[in-house]
Structure 1
């Protein structure tokens, strides 16, 4: 333990002081963000034009805490339609500069604008004619001076009471990067479907990209019986296939109806039905709700919710049964 730092147990915890400290940090960082708004103007537009005209990728770089922010900005750009990646400035001078190509744009972050590792690689970038966008807290810095475009992310004060730990400054830089990413997203006409394609494992990706054909049961997994099947045969097929229903189809797999748990309950409640002698065609529901294999899985969930059903048959244009699914399939796929 550092000899100059007393253990936490030796400090009295004052709840009011802690709450006030946290509120001060939030207020300080909120003020830093608000100060950015009037600075968004021609320089910001030019930065967007440089990136929009880039035939390569946006190479984002920064050292220390600015490097952490730069990584996040690169990830946000990449996921919103602007190809981007992070290069560590220290590693860049030891070979990673080869990752930066003449058709790229470099976005460099440094609060002071005097970070040695970033300044060291600038001559190589400038010699290749690579456009440089800088986000700094010092408009008179070396980095700002060498940049094609400088975005001012300066702050009045850090939220750290010692004025040492990067807090408000990193927040301001991050927000400036987010502003770039979103402005570019809108300029490109980037849609939620585009976002889903770069996030296929996320909930939005599953909702927008997963199709019925990806989750439905096919072939021998489809519960189906002929119209002359007995109630017992229909129940056995439902039990084997575990979907709580069975399709009733003709010899060419054309859909005639569906027999469900609900149909069974209604038949049991009807004293006029001969359960031993009845065929499934007499007990089935005609004109059941169906869906196409090319539809989104989320559409099946919406259809089930709207009609208060738990399973669907999948048919082609000729009304032949090609698949089946139930709510559990959608839950397993994390669509709902």
Structure 2
């Protein structure tokens, strides 16, 4: 029998992908029993566990840390006052933080909170006109020292309230905020650097935590602004899609239940 060549030896075979859309795969598909498949699944679960751990840590922070708790209360008060005065909260960030900012703007709009997104580069080329006297600006920056934001800060009026979602837990150590009297810090730290967790410093855990802190802010502000009417405001602002349909059905069920209860109370009286 002719011995197998090194190229066909089981140990030398490597999983390869075909570049032709019509050709058959060179190796069987990944499966639970396949070593490569098991490795991928372990990696995937590790990513989810890391994110869950980070969210657990930031939850504890807002349960126990006076800086975080005070920052949230100040932020809610600031944004409600801005909205009551006819102003808006302007989110500002670049890169992945800019995408997080846009997501939070969309969430706040659906909840009836006056808001918009400002790109720092465009701001320096005319969009500074978007900042009005009754507005506030909220920066999103994990490092708290994004050059574009630091440059923009010098062109924002001193009377404009400044807030920031950043990894810092001490306002005096956050470059974006430390030189601005009355600035508001919303800490969004992660328990472990992404480069340590995943071997690459791509924003992953940090953006997850930033979104969570932003959602926390949006929902608490909405409750402060609308009280029991938040769901009605959301239904009015989000009539389309499956979410809009679900919101209508839930509200119809609640209204029907209230009507039935009133009829029972009336008849018993």
Verify the 8 A CA contact 1:67 1:109 in the aligned structure 2.
yes
Between the aligned partners of 1:8 and 1:158, the Cα distance in structure 2 is 31
User: Structure 2 vs 1, CA of residues 116 and 209 (structure 1 numbering), >3 Å: closer, same or farther?
Assistant: same
Q: Does 1:9 align with 2:16?
A: yes
Verify the 8 A CA contact 1:157 1:163 in the aligned structure 2.
no
- CA drift of 1:102 comes to 1.7
Partner of 1:193: 232
Partner of 2:190: 155
Deviations 1:213-252 (A, max 9, x none): xxxxxxxxxxxxxxxxxxxxxxxxxxxxxxxxxxxxxxxx
Verify the 8 A CA contact 1:137 1:155 in the aligned structure 2.
yes
Partner of 1:38: 60
Between the aligned partners of 1:65 and 1:47, the Cα distance in structure 2 is 22
Partner of 2:51: 29
Name which of 210, 214, 239 aligns with 1:173: 210
Partner of 2:263: none
When the two structures are aligned, how many residues end up with a matched partner? Answer: 207
User: Structure 2 vs 1, CA of residues 13 and 125 (structure 1 numbering), >3 Å: closer, same or farther?
Assistant: farther
- CA drift of 1:145 comes to 1.6
Verify the 8 A CA contact 1:87 1:96 in the aligned structure 2.
yes
Between the aligned partners of 2:246 and 2:42, the Cα distance in structure 1 is 42
- CA drift of 1:158 comes to 4.1
Between the aligned partners of 1:162 and 1:144, the Cα distance in structure 2 is 30
Partner of 2:3: none
TM-score by length of 2: 0.70
Partner of 1:101: helix, strand, or coil?
coil
Partner of 2:175: 142
- Structural mapping, 1:33-182, within 5 Å: 33-40=55-62, 41-54=69-82, 55=85, 56-127=87-158, 129-138=159-168, 139=170, 140-146=173-179, 148-159=183-194, 161-182=198-219
User: Structure 2 vs 1, CA of residues 207 and 135 (structure 1 numbering), >3 Å: closer, same or farther?
Assistant: closer
Whose RCO is larger (CA < 8 A, sep 6+)? 2
Between the aligned partners of 1:87 and 1:8, the Cα distance in structure 2 is 46
Partner of 1:213: none
Between the aligned partners of 1:203 and 1:162, the Cα distance in structure 2 is 38
User: Structure 2 vs 1, CA of residues 39 and 198 (structure 1 numbering), >3 Å: closer, same or farther?
Assistant: same
Runs of 4+ in 1 over 6 A off after TM superposition: 10-13, 207-210
Between the aligned partners of 1:166 and 1:209, the Cα distance in structure 2 is 36
- CA drift of 1:201 comes to 2.0
User: Structure 2 vs 1, CA of residues 161 and 132 (structure 1 numbering), >3 Å: closer, same or farther?
Assistant: same
Unaligned runs of 5+ in 1: 1-6, 211-297, 303-336
User: Structure 2 vs 1, CA of residues 8 and 143 (structure 1 numbering), >3 Å: closer, same or farther?
Assistant: farther
Between the aligned partners of 1:146 and 1:13, the Cα distance in structure 2 is 54
User: Structure 2 vs 1, CA of residues 137 and 208 (structure 1 numbering), >3 Å: closer, same or farther?
Assistant: closer
TM-score by length of 1: 0.56
User: Structure 2 vs 1, CA of residues 161 and 22 (structure 1 numbering), >3 Å: closer, same or farther?
Assistant: same
Partner of 2:9: none
- For the aligned residue pairs, the C-alpha RMSD in angstroms reads 2.7
Indicate the structure with greater helix content: 2
